[in-house]
Structure 1
Amino acid sequence: MPQAPAQQRNPQARTKDTFVSPIVESRRWLDGLTLPPDMPLLNLSQAAPADPPPDGLRRAISNAALSDDSSHLYGAVLGRDDLRAALADKMSRHYAADLSAADVAITSGCNQAFAATIAALCGEGDQVILPTPWYFNHKMWLDMQGVETCPLQVGEGMLPCPDAAAELITARTRAIVLVTPNNPCGVEYPGGLVQRFHDLARSHGLTLIVDETYRDFDSRTGPPHSMFQNPKWSDTLVHLYSFSKAYRLTGHRLGAIAAHPDHLLEIEKFLDTVTICPAQLGQTGALWGLQNLDDWLAGERQELLTRRAAIEAGFESLAKQGWRLLGCGAYFAYVAHPFAKRSETLAKRMVKEAGILMLPGSMFTPDDDPAGARQFRIAFANVDTDGIKTLFDRLKNWAA
C-alpha cells in the first residue's frame, strides 16, 4: 500500500516574516568580549530595571507562596478581581476619570497586552498605523500576524502628526498605535495631540491603541490626557500598561489592558489560549505595590527625572561635536550621530572600542528609512548620573 506523502515544512513560517529581536541581536555582540578593567561595559540597550522589587513587595510574594494555596493554581483569565479593581482605582485617580474593574484586564506582560489587542482587532492583510521610530516588538508582532504595518514618520520634536496619519488610512486600516512617553524616543506626547489622534480614529471607526508603559515616569503632573474623562472613551480607546517598570516586576511578566468589556471578551479568548491566566504570585506583588508603594514610586520617578536632566545638561559637550538630542524622557534619550558610517556599524564598534552598548536607530525604523542609520537609542534607566557622565566622556573621546 503506497504511503501518503510526508507533509512539507512551511518554508515561510510566521516567525520568518519578521526580524531577530534587537535585544537578542545586541547581546550577541557581547559574545567573547573582553574589556579593560578601567572601561567596564555601559549597557544602555534595554529599558528594564536591573534591581529587584522593594523588600515589602518581595515579602508579600513570599508569604503568598507559602500560605496562599490559590497562588499556585489557575486563576481568572482576565486576572484577579482585587487587582483589576485596584488598578481601575489607580487609573481613575491618575486620569481624573471613573474606571471600573470591568474595564480592566491583567495580562502576562505589556507585550502580551499588545498581542492580545491586535488578535482581537485584526485579521490577515489588515493594516495598523505605527509611528516610526517604533517599538520593535510591536512591529514584530504585526509581522507575525500577517498584519501590514503602515509607518507614520514623526516630525518636529519626534512627534507624530494626525494629518499625516489620516493620509495613511485605507479600507483595511484597523488601528493607530501611540506610545507615550515614547519608546524609543522618550518624548511625552501632549494631551492635545493624543486627543487629535483619538478624534481621528473615532471619525474613521478605528481603534486608538495607546501604550503608556512609562506613564509613571512622565515629567508632567496631572492627567497626561483627558480621553478617559469621556464617558464613551472605550468606544475608541484601548489602553496598555506595564507593572514591570513601576514595581520592578519584569521577571513576573505583568501588564494590563483597559478597554470596553465587550472587547475584553474577545481578548479573553486569546489570553485563555496562550497563558490561561497571569502568574498568580506576580499579581500578588502588583496588588501590594498598588496599595503600598505610591511614595516609593514617586521617588523612583524623581530619580529618572534627575537622570533625564543629567542627559539634557551634559549633552552640550556632544553637541559641539555634531551630535543632536532628538528626544528625552522616561527611560530613553534618542540621538543623532555626526559620523559618516551607519549606526549599526558604529554600534558594534562602540561596544569593543568604548565599552558602550546601545541600540542603533535602524532597529526602530523601516529598512528603507535612512534616518535610522543616523540615530541611536540610549536607555538610561540602569545608569545613574555618574554613569551618564561616563557615557558622555567616552563618546567625546571616541573617534568613529
Structure 2
Amino acid sequence: MRFNPLTVQVADSPIGLAQGLTAHRAKRRDLLDLAQAAPPYPPAPEVVEHVMATARDPRGGEYVVDVAGLPRLREVFAAELSTDYRGHVGAEHVFVTAGCNQAFCLVMSALAAQGDQVLLTLPYYFNHDMWLRMTGIEPVYLEPGPDQIPTPEAAEALITPRTRALVVVTPGNPSGAVVPPDRIAALAEVAARHGIALILDETYRSFRDTDEPAHALFADPGWTDTVISLHSFSKDLAIPGYRVGAVVASPELGRQLAKLLDCVAICAPRIGQEAAWAGLTRATTWRRERAEDIADRRRRFSALMAEKPGGFELLSVGGMFGWLRHPFVGPSTEDVVRELVISYDTLVIPGTAFLPDDQGTFRISLSNIDVTGLTDFARRLTALGEERARSAGFEPATS
C-alpha cells in the first residue's frame, strides 16, 4: 500500500531553506549567519554543573511523574513571573512543555479545531502559521500599524463567530517590535469581550529595554479567563537543544494540555527541566549580563542602521531581531536574500517567510553576531546597494 504525504500546502521551514543557500556562496569573506536566533555562548556554569549531576543521578533519566512539570520548576517560575509582572501566578498556572513551539501547538490543539480561525499579527512567526495550516485551522492576518504593533480596533474588525484566539508575539519574532502594556491590555479587553483567548508568546521577554512589567494582566484576579502566556527558556538560558518552555494559563487548560502532551511526548524532557530550574535559581547574574549584552548590540545596530547603509531601512528592532526593508525596485526579496548570501556571504531570512506577500522586508538575528560583525554587516549592505546602483546605470550618492 502506498501512503500519500501530507496534502496541506505548507511551506518548508525557512531556516533550512536559508541554510541551503550557503552551499552556493562565493566565500570571499567569513559567513555572517544572521538567520537563526541561537545564543552563541554556552549555558551558565551553574546550569552545566547541575545538568552533569542530574546525568550521574541513577534516576536522572526517568520520566517526570507530574506531566505538568517538575513541581520545583513550576514553583520557582511562577514566583519569578509574579515578581516581574507584579501580579499573581501560581505553580498551578504553569505547565512545562518541550519548548515554546510545542507550547503553541498544544494550546492550539486544545482551543481550536479544523475550520476555526485564529488571528495572527503580521509579520507572524512562521511556525505558528505552519501549525495552523497543517491542522486545518485558518490563520487570519492582522495588519499592524506603522510601528509594527497591532491595534485593538483592527483586531476587533477581524473577529468572527469562528475566531478562537488572537496571537501576539512580544517582543516580536521577526519584527522585534515590543507591544506596550497599555496596548496589550486593550487587546486583552477585546479578546475578553468576544470570549476568545489572547495568546501572548513572550519567548523574548528577558530581552527588553526595561525592567518594568511587560504587561499588567497577571494583576487581574480573572486573568485566566482570557490570557494564555507562552514562554521559552532556550534563549534566556542558552539551552535551545534542551527543549523546555512553558504555558502559563488556567489549571483547566493545563489539564487538557496534559492529555495532549501524554500522547506526543509523555512529558517535557527531565534534563531540560532540571537545566531550567538551575538557571532560574542559580544564574540570575549571568542572565542579566547576557541580556545587557544583547541590549548593547541592539543599540549599536540601531545607530549603524540610522545611516541607512546601501539604502536599507530599519523598520523595527527589539528582543533578538531587526526587521529591515531593502531599497530595490524589481527584484523579489528572495532574490535580494540570495544575492546577500551568494555574493556577500551574509545569511538572513526573507520577510516572505513571515508574511503572506512580499513587502520587501527581511529579518536579521542579533544574537550570534558581535559588534565587529554588526559593523561588517552594514558595510556589506552598503556594498550591495552601491553595486545595484551602478548596474542600474547611475552612481550611488556619497555622503
Q: Give the TM bin, normalised by the shorter chain.
A: over 0.9
Hey, what does 2:212 align to over in structure 1? Answer: 222
CA distance in structure 1 between the partners assigned to 2:233 and 2:332 by the alignment: 35
Hey, what does 2:374 align to over in structure 1? Answer: 388
Q: TM-score, normalised by structure 1?
A: 0.94
1:96 aligns with 2:90: no
Q: For residue 335 of structure 1, give the secondary structure of its aligned residue in structure 2.
A: strand
Question: CA shift at 1:51, angstroms?
Answer: 2.1
The 5 Å alignment of 1:1-400 reads 6=1, 9-10=3-4, 13=6, 16-36=8-28, 39-67=29-57, 69-75=58-64, 76-318=66-308, 321-340=310-329, 341-366=331-356, 369-371=357-359, 374-398=360-384, 399-400=387-388
Contact 1:83–1:283 (Cα < 8 Å) also in 2: yes
Deviations 1:210-250 (A, max 9, x none): 00000001112221210000011010000000000000110
Deviations 1:175-210 (A, max 9, x none): 000000110001111101111110000000000000
Is the deviation greater in 73-82 or in 101-110?
73-82
Cα distance change of structure 1 residues 23 and 370 upon mapping to structure 2, 3 Å threshold: closer
Contact 2:26–2:343 (Cα < 8 Å) also in 1: no
Aligned residues: 384
Q: For residue 37 of structure 2, give the secondary structure of its aligned residue in structure 1.
A: coil
Contact 2:324–2:361 (Cα < 8 Å) also in 1: yes
CA distance in structure 1 between the partners assigned to 2:23 and 2:279 by the alignment: 37
Contact 1:343–1:375 (Cα < 8 Å) also in 2: yes
**Which residue identity lines up with residue 328 of structure 2 in the other structure?**
F
Deviations 1:275-328 (A, max 9, x none): 101111111111011001111111111111100001111113325x43221100
Question: CA shift at 1:34, angstroms?
Answer: 5.0
Contact 1:44–1:357 (Cα < 8 Å) also in 2: yes
Q: For residue 142 of structure 2, give the secondary structure of its aligned residue in structure 1.
A: strand
Regions of 4+ moved over 2 Å: 8-11, 31-34, 316-319
Q: For residue 215 of structure 2, give the secondary structure of its aligned residue in structure 1.
A: coil
Q: RMSD between aligned alpha carbons?
A: 1.3
Is the deviation greater in 116-125 or in 71-80?
71-80
CA distance in structure 2 between the partners assigned to 1:74 and 1:41 by the alignment: 41
Contact 1:317–1:396 (Cα < 8 Å) also in 2: no
**Which residue identity lines up with residue 48 of structure 2 in the other structure?**
R
Hey, what does 2:397 align to over in structure 1? Answer: none
Question: CA shift at 1:388, angstroms?
Answer: 0.4
**Which residue identity lines up with residue 43 of structure 1 in the other structure?**
D
Deviations 1:13-58 (A, max 9, x none): 26x431100001111112254502xx10000000111222122211
Structure 1 residues not aligned, in runs of 5+:
1-5
CA distance in structure 1 between the partners assigned to 2:9 and 2:333 by the alignment: 24
Q: For residue 139 of structure 2, give the secondary structure of its aligned residue in structure 1.
A: strand
Structure 2 residues not aligned, in runs of 5+:
389-399
CA distance in structure 2 between the partners assigned to 1:370 and 1:300 by the alignment: 34
Q: For residue 97 of structure 1, give the secondary structure of its aligned residue in structure 2.
A: coil
Hey, what does 1:3 align to over in structure 2? Answer: none
Contact 1:323–1:336 (Cα < 8 Å) also in 2: yes
CA distance in structure 2 between the partners assigned to 1:104 and 1:145 by the alignment: 25
Contact 2:170–2:202 (Cα < 8 Å) also in 1: yes
**Which residue identity lines up with residue 200 of structure 1 in the other structure?**
V
CA distance in structure 2 between the partners assigned to 1:110 and 1:260 by the alignment: 17
CA distance in structure 2 between the partners assigned to 1:181 and 1:32 by the alignment: 33
**Which residue identity lines up with residue 29 of structure 1 in the other structure?**
L
Contact 1:317–1:392 (Cα < 8 Å) also in 2: no
Q: TM-score, normalised by structure 2?
A: 0.94
CA distance in structure 2 between the partners assigned to 1:354 and 1:318 by the alignment: 18
Contact 1:126–1:174 (Cα < 8 Å) also in 2: yes
